[in-house]
């Protein structure tokens, strides 16, 4: 049933049903109710954000009818937008609505943002200590902006088409020459094209498997067609070596910051204005929103 209530009113309605302000929290932590006004206010804002997201994704059944899968998809997107404390609040608010536990998710936004990415020489230094399959993964992530788990899903474009429910710009990968187009499967099951330089394409083909192997990353199964690093194992290796070689780590996800900034420079050098370029980059990175791209460009 389509809901015509505003996001704010939907959130307020749900919070009102869960309020138990005159009941002490002590001894009632597991009753699924909200015992403090401050918590109620935080949850109301969180649920308004969820409702806005549902509407933007044409999920019009209303916040009351949100499913566990939809809640998880929302939180997965938010990992690239908000810090851990806020992410935890939004997860707990959704748990209150669903009356069920939701697996914890980790924010990809640093609480300090001290470094916001790596210089090319710093990435090279990290790679000198890596195993061959993780070195290749790092090079591909730097060149194409793919996420850690997406490295496990690489396929050549003639083997799998991009998702058809999105309208893809023909200007993606503008200015990039001697590139090969692959596809990856990202958040929400979105399949998108990514551009990989010829020399990395050749390296990938040299480690192509005769039969795909099943890789399990964070409890999810992936069918991988190449002997290339990816997922949590690669991310952990990158962070560990970054700390050893540089004394700090922004994590492998920071390579997406590198990609966004490099692409902005490339596109603007070809005459694209900032906002046009940002829209193109948002599609290349698989989130379709300029405000998220802005996070990577800072």
pLDDT tens digits along 251-274 = 999 999 999 999 999 999 999 999
**pTM, 2 dp:** 0.74
Question: Above 50 in pLDDT, residue 275?
Answer: yes
| Residue linked to tokens 């949100």 | 66
Which pLDDT score is estimated for 30? Answer: 58
Do both 207 and 246 map to the same domain? yes
Residue with the bigger pLDDT between 82 and 173: it is 173
Each residue's pLDDT tens digit, 177-222: 999 999 999 887 899 999 999 999 999 999 999 999 999 998 888 9
Q: Is residue 271 part of a domain?
A: yes
Do both 171 and 255 map to the same domain? yes
Do both 134 and 74 map to the same domain? no
Q: Is residue 105 part of a domain?
A: no
Do both 57 and 203 map to the same domain? no
The CATH number of the domain holding residue 287 is: 1.10.443.10
pLDDT > 70 in the chain, percent = 92
Which pLDDT score is estimated for 53? Answer: 86
pLDDT > 90 in the chain, percent = 60
Beta strand 220-226 with 208-217 is: antiparallel
Residue with the bigger pLDDT between 37 and 235: it is 235
Question: Above 90 in pLDDT, residue 134?
Answer: yes
Do both 124 and 93 map to the same domain? no
Which pLDDT score is estimated for 50? Answer: 92
| Domain of 232, in residue numbers | 120-297
Q: Is residue 112 part of a domain?
A: no
> What is the overall mean pLDDT for the chain?
89
Cα 223 from Cα 175, distance rounded (Å): 31
Domain boundary at 35, 65, 98, which?
98
Q: Is residue 194 part of a domain?
A: yes
Which pLDDT score is estimated for 280? Answer: 97
Q: Is residue 159 part of a domain?
A: yes
Do both 280 and 220 map to the same domain? yes
Do both 133 and 91 map to the same domain? no
Q: Is residue 2 part of a domain?
A: no
Do both 130 and 78 map to the same domain? no
Do both 47 and 94 map to the same domain? yes
Mean pLDDT of 95-118: 78
Q: Is residue 152 part of a domain?
A: yes
Do both 75 and 163 map to the same domain? no
Q: At how many degrees (to 10) do helices 37-56 and 68-78 cross?
A: 90
Cα 24 from Cα 30, distance rounded (Å): 12
Number of domains in the chain: 2
Cα 49 from Cα 33, distance rounded (Å): 20
Do both 35 and 127 map to the same domain? no
Domain boundary at 51, 66, 98, which?
98
Mean pLDDT of 93-97: 90
Q: Is residue 62 part of a domain?
A: yes
Do both 211 and 263 map to the same domain? yes
């Amino acid at each position: 049933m389509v809901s015509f209530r505003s996001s704010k009113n939907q959130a307020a309605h749900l919070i009102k049903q869960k309020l138990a302000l005159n009941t002490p929290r002590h001894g009632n932590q597991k009753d699924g109710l909200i015992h403090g006004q401050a918590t109620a206010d935080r949850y109301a804002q969180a649920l308004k954000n969820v409702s806005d997201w549902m509407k933007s994704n044409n999920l019009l059944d209303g916040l009351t009818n949100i499913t566990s899968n939809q809640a998880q998809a929302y939180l997965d997107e938010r990992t690239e937008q908000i810090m851990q404390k806020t992410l935890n609040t939004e997860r707990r608010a959704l748990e209150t609505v669903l009356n069920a536990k939701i697996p914890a998710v980790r924010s990809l936004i640093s609480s300090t943002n001290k470094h916001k990415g790596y210089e090319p020489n710093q990435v090279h230094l990290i790679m000198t200590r890596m195993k061959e399959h993780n070195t290749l993964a790092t090079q591909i992530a730097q060149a194409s902006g793919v996420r850690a788990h997406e490295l496990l899903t690489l396929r050549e474009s003639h083997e799998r088409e991009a998702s058809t429910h999105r309208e893809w710009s023909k200007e993606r990968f503008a200015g990039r020459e001697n590139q090969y187009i692959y596809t990856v499967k990202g958040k929400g099951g979105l399949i998108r094209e990514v551009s990989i330089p010829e020399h990395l394409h050749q390296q990938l083909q040299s480690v192509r498997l005769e039969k795909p192997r099943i890789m399990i990353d964070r409890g999810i199964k992936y069918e991988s067609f190449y002997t290339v690093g990816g997922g949590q194992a690669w991310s952990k290796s990158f962070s560990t070596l970054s700390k050893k070689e540089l004394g700090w780590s922004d994590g492998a996800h920071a390579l997406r910051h590198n990609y966004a900034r490099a692409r902005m420079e490339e596109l603007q050098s070809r005459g694209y204005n900032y906002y046009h370029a940002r829209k193109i980059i948002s599609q290349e990175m698989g989130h379709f929103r300029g405000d998220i791209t802005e996070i990577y460009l800072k």
